[in-house]
Structure formats: C-alpha cells, structure tokens
Amino acid sequence: MIGSPSQGAVDKPHVRRLKRYGPLLDEDVAALEARLGRVETYPAGKNLELTGSPPMFLLSGWACLAHSLRDGRRQILAFLLPGDGIGFDLLTRSQRSVEVLALTPLKVRRAQAGFAAGTERLGRVFAGAAAAQQGRMIDQMVRLGRQTALERMAHLLLELHSRLAEIGEVRGETFHLPLKQEILADALGLSLVHVNRTLQQMKRDKLIDMRGAQVTLLDRSALEAASDQSS
C-alpha cells in the first residue's frame, strides 16, 4: 500500500522543519522516529557534548554554535531553533573549535547508533536542510563582513522570524526572542552598547516593537530594504 502524506497537524517540530525541504510520507516519518531515542532535557548554559556522541534534533528551546577565544570573547556562528538538526551536516558536526551552547532550557532527541536517513525521501530532505544551514552561514559571513549594525540586526530578525514561521511559532509579524542583548552582540560582532543603540533606533524609526522578549516587525519592507532581502 502506498503511503500517504504525513499530517501536519500532528507533526513534531523536526518533522515540520524537514518538510520544508520536500514531501514526506507517513512511512518516512515512522522510519525517522524509529531511529531516534528518548527525549533528553538540558538547562540553559549547558554545553551539549557532540564529540563521540550521535547527532540530535532540537525539539524545544534555543541553542547556538559558537567559537570562543582564549580571552573569553565569543563569536556565535549560528542559532539553532526548535526542529533543527545538530550533527547531521558538516557545519553542525562535532569540531573541536565549535561548541553547542543551550541558550534556553532544551529538549532534544538523539539519533540511535548507526543512524541513516532510512528512505530516499528522507535523504533528500536531510540534504536540503544541510544546504539551508550552509546558506545561513553565508548570510552570517555577509552580515559580519559587509553590513552596518542596523543592516545586521534587520537581517537577523527577518531570518529568525522566517525560521520560526516554518514551524508555526509566530503570530503574524510577532515572535518570541528569548535572547539577551549580550547574545545578539556575540552573534552580530557588535558591542553591547552598539546593540542597544541599534535596537533603540529601530524602535524610534518604527521598524520594530519590543515588549520584553516579544518582537514585532512593524515595517517589513523597510527591514528588507535595509538588509538587502526581499520577500
């Protein structure tokens, strides 16, 4: 019997995320779930060990890939959001110079030993997810190398909104941003003072609204123009 498309209403974050890169049938989802272990929890601030450990899916919470210098300075390379895979591709695979840091409490499921995609369709969507991760790394390089502070912030906020929208974690143009300004500074290569000034300027210019950890994009077209993006 030919499988049917998996029902989005019951999809878990990692399944919803993978479906962005191609269709999956019920049998594909079942094959994936059979290759994942139990749910594990980690507190904010925890470094997730990848060396010698199997890859994992992030079910809830925010994490990041980061590189720390000897003097304590840190560059955040990428944010990891619910549904993202960690360790399945070259960028997130274990490297001595890169750490995976929990920015909020996390729930994850690790792949079982000898993990393989399982079906041809799963293989294709894993390849698509890896390509998307590489594309975001290129965006990060451009942000750090060529964009102004406002352009960097606009670009990052648009990216985070888009990625959260993929798994249904936005309300219109509003999304939850559980990051301190220090974390944004480490991601954007800016000082804490510069991050604060940039956010204040964006609020004065009515580009965004921030109420605690809730961010609303008020003028998407202006943000896209500032960050050299388009819908």
DSSP 173: T
Q: Give the pLDDT confidence score for residue 54 in this predicted structure.
A: 86
Give the residue ranges of the chain where pLDDT is below 50: 1-9
Buried b (16+ CB within 10 A) or exposed e, 2-36: eeeebeeeebbbbbbbbbebbebbebbbebbeebb
Cα dist from 131 to 88, 89, 126, 162, 231, whole Å: 12, 9, 9, 16, 20
Q: Give the pLDDT confidence score for residue 231 in this predicted structure.
A: 52
- Please, what are the domains in the chain? 8-129 (2.60.120.10), 148-227 (1.10.10.10)
Q: Give the pLDDT confidence score for residue 25 in this predicted structure.
A: 94
- Token couple for 151: 């352009």
Distance separating alpha carbons of residues 200 and 197, to the nearest angstrom: 5
Q: Give the pLDDT confidence score for residue 87 in this predicted structure.
A: 86
- Token couple for 223: 């943000």
**Which residue's entry shows tokens 């890896």?**
130
pTM of this structure: 0.90
Query: How would you list the strands of the sheet with 56-60, edge to edge?
Result: 36-42, 106-111, 56-60, 85-86
Partners of 203 in the β-ladder: none
